[in-house]
Amino acid sequence: MKRFAFILIPCAVVVMALTTAAVQQAEICDTKALKEAAKNKLSPYNYDSGKVTKLTYKNKPQLKEIEVPVFIGEKYRMVFNMSGITRGVVVTVFNKDKEAKNRKALWSSKDAKAEGGLYSFEPEGGKFKFYVDYEIPAVQDSAKAECAVFMLGYK
Amino acid sequence: MRFTTLTLAAAFAFAACSNDKPENNDTDTLKGDSTGVTVEVDNEGSKTTLPSPLRVAMMFQRSGLKFIPGITFGSDKAINFSTKFQKARIMGVYSSDLAYTVLNKQSNESQKLLKTIREVAGQIDLGKVFDQTNLYDRFNANLDNTDSLGGIIGDIQYQTDLQLQAGGQTEMYGIIFSGAWVEAMYIGAQVYKKEGNDNVVLALLEQMAVLKSILEELNSYNTQDADLKAWIAELSALQTIVDAMPSIKKLNENPDLEFKDVKPTSEEMAPVIQKIEELRAAIVKG
């Protein structure tokens, strides 16, 4: 019994610590407000899907890629809400994934103007999928994680 | 000494707690596109989005998918489902049936289906989607306007996504959509079997690309739930059948080809359709 408790109590402590960390992560941004702003920018396109991506900073540059399935014959609007991002994250939409050698950048936030941290882009064509890449810069301080919101509309 | 014992115990406990989780290396490295600098690839969490059931149904609609009465599951059978997993999957089935009936202007059936979806949503902690919005009334007030219904269904999807996130049950997202996708494929397959429309085959083919995204989403949950693990295994079996199709192999080996450039034969489609029918039967059995 003592041996069982010896394992169980520290285990519970670790689980509680992890749970607390998870709750803190979940509260790093107001996802509802970020999504609402993105959805307003989506109009007159119908909402299809959205994704909140947690961006964690490190002392080396990182890349996070999101796949977006698309179908032939549809018109799309992509909206990015980067208003919660403070560290110069660049968003780029590609026609192929990060492993492909001859992929083409279709749009980049580097060349676009944001309105209140919101970007929108209407891609043309598309076969199978688009790929959204978040280029996360290296930081030297203890920057907190932030949230980027992607939303797709169609008509 | 006491501190050392506690530290060791905590370390042991951490190992014990983590023991049944799969080893998961969430980072990789890659040369940056523009800079050539080596960057770390963050693979943590889900890396895909999934289309809404209405968008999937619209894609089939563009292929000339006709309405055939009796193909959908029916709006009065949700009572047979007991677990949250089963209810989430059947909610997906109902979502696809709703999209199919809305696009084919079957107002009465659409109305019944939305009522059922609202009931099932309430049973899986998604009641706020309808309780705190006027979406149900808006839907019923616009039954004869397909364009407006498209926007309202989009809003229902949006509210569902919000509630899943707020309730910390994002895993339901992939489960609901997997049910919706199987139902959409089932409807497409049944219409193809009855009508033999080649464009529907191309739509089925195009939809097969989504299966990989579904598996990616479901696998990202690293679940220990037996029902979900079994469901992932079933969907993976379908993926294996799809990957073995000569048309899919041709598409994968020739990136410049379009779906219209490959014409799968009915013999090629038969095992895929059979597996889809099995998956759909498993869902509706409860």
Whether residue A102 is predicted with pLDDT greater than 50 in this model: the reply is yes
Q: A115-150 burial, b if ≥16 CB within 10 A, otherwise e?
A: eebbbbbebeebbbbbbbbbbbeeeeeeeeebbbbb
The amino acid occupying position B107 is: S
Asked which of A84-93, B19-28, B51-60 is least confident by mean pLDDT, the reply is: B19-28
- Greatest Cα pair distance, chain A, in angstroms, is 66
Mean pLDDT of B21-44: 61
Q: Where are the beta strands (DSSP E) in chain B?
A: 27-31, 38-42
pLDDT score recorded for residue B36 = 60
Closest-CA distance, A115 to chain B, in angstroms, reads 22
pLDDT band at B68 (very low <50, low <70, confident <90, very high): very high
The residue of chain A with its CA nearest to that of B41 is A63
pLDDT band at B251 (very low <50, low <70, confident <90, very high): confident
pLDDT score recorded for residue B27 = 60
Q: Under an 8 A CB cutoff, do B49 and A71 touch?
A: no
Establish, for the pair of chains A and B, how many residue pairs have beta carbons separated by less than 8 Å. Answer: 134
Mean pLDDT of A61-78: 93
Whether residue B143 is predicted with pLDDT greater than 50 in this model: the reply is yes
pLDDT band at B6 (very low <50, low <70, confident <90, very high): very low
- Greatest Cα pair distance, chain B, in angstroms, is 78
pLDDT score recorded for residue A144 = 92
Mean pLDDT of A124-141: 90
Residue B108 CB neighbour total at 10 angstroms = 10
pLDDT score recorded for residue A20 = 43
Residue with tokens 């285990």: A11
First to last CA, chain B: 56
- Residues of chain A with C-beta less than 8 angstroms from the C-beta of B150: 46
Closest-CA distance, A100 to chain B, in angstroms, reads 10
- Residues of chain B with C-beta less than 8 angstroms from the C-beta of A9: 13
Give me the percent of chain B exceeding a pLDDT of 70. Answer: 86
Q: Under an 8 A CB cutoff, do B157 and A48 touch?
A: yes
Q: Under an 8 A CB cutoff, do B40 and A62 touch?
A: yes
Residue-averaged pLDDT of chain A: 86
Q: Under an 8 A CB cutoff, do B40 and A65 touch?
A: no
Q: Under an 8 A CB cutoff, do A74 and B9 touch?
A: no
Among candidates B40, B52, B206 on the partner chain, residue whose Cβ is nearest the Cβ of A49: B52
Q: Under an 8 A CB cutoff, do A10 and B13 touch?
A: yes
3-state secondary structure B70-127: CCCCCCCCHHHCCCHHHHHHHHHHHHHHHHHHHHCCCHHHHHHHHHHHHHHHHHCCCC
pLDDT band at A73 (very low <50, low <70, confident <90, very high): confident
Q: Under an 8 A CB cutoff, do B42 and A56 touch?
A: yes
Q: Under an 8 A CB cutoff, do A61 and B32 touch?
A: yes
Whether residue B13 is predicted with pLDDT greater than 70 in this model: the reply is no
Residue B264, preceding peptide bond in cis (omega within 30° of 0): no
Asked which of A3-7, B1-5, B282-286 is least confident by mean pLDDT, the reply is: B1-5
Give the mutation candidate from B49, B65, B139 for the A interface (greatest A CB count, under 10 A): B49
Spatial separation of the C-alpha atoms in residues B47 and A68, rounded to whole Å: 9
**Tens-digit pLDDT profile for residues B184-203:** 999 999 999 998 888 999 99
**Tens-digit pLDDT profile for residues A15-68:** 444 444 444 444 689 999 999 999 999 999 999 999 999 999 999 999 999 999
